[in-house]
């Protein structure tokens, strides 16, 4: 009879170990979700500020460009040439800013690095204790 109780205890122990491993990985998955939500939230928050800034800056920039054209007209350049010159410079500047923005977005890392490192460490620990 004592042998049966010991086996039952070993089975219980193994069941508990498996339950703890499952619980650990469920916790790690929740951590991954939380980290991803944090990163996406930061990107969204930054996007809202950028959108508001674009609206305000756009109006000011249009006025600045019109003032530059008027300055060229006062300096003796025909209005059509002033509009063309200022338009070309504005388009070139916009192209450079667009290129930089695209490059920044491409380098943004959404991978939950901390969580992945923690999961790898947990897997290594579980493997170490099982073998």
Each domain of the chain, given as residue ranges in start order, spans 2-130
Give the pLDDT score at 2.
47
Contacts of 83 (CB under 8 A, 6+ apart): 69
Give the pLDDT score at 86.
93
The string of DSSP letters for the chain reads -HHHHHHHHHHHHHHHHHHHHHHHHHHHHHHHHHHHHHHHHHHHHHHHHHHHHHHHHHHHHHHHHHHHHHHHHHTT--HHHHHHHHHHHHHHHHHHHHHHHHHHHHT---S-HHHHHHHHHHHHHHHHHH-
Give the CA-trace dihedral at 108, 34, 114, 43, to 10 degrees: 10
Taking the C-alpha atoms of residue 94 and residue 88, their distance in angstroms, rounded to an integer, is: 10
- Is pTM beyond 0.75? Reply is no
> Which is higher by pLDDT, 131 or 98?
98
Q: Quick: pLDDT tens for 107-123.
A: 877 777 777 888 888 88
pLDDT (mean) for 12-38 = 85
pLDDT-derived band at 25, boundaries 50, 70, 90 = confident
pLDDT-derived band at 5, boundaries 50, 70, 90 = low
Give the pLDDT score at 126.
77
Mean pLDDT of the chain: 85
> Which is higher by pLDDT, 5 or 55?
55
């Amino acid at each position: 009879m004592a042998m049966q109780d010991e086996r039952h205890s070993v089975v219980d122990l193994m069941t508990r170990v498996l339950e703890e491993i499952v619980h650990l990985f469920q916790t790690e998955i929740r951590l991954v979700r939380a980290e991803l939500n944090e990163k996406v939230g930061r990107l969204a928050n930054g996007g809202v500020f950028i959108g508001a800034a674009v609206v305000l800056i756009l109006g000011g920039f249009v006025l600045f460009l019109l003032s530059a054209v008027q300055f060229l007209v006062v300096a003796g350049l025909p209005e059509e040439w002033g509009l063309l010159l200022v338009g070309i410079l504005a388009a070139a500047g916009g192209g450079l800013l667009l290129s930089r923005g695209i490059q920044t977005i491409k380098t943004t890392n959404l991978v939950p690095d901390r969580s992945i490192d923690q999961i790898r460490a947990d897997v290594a620990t579980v493997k170490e204790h099982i073998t």
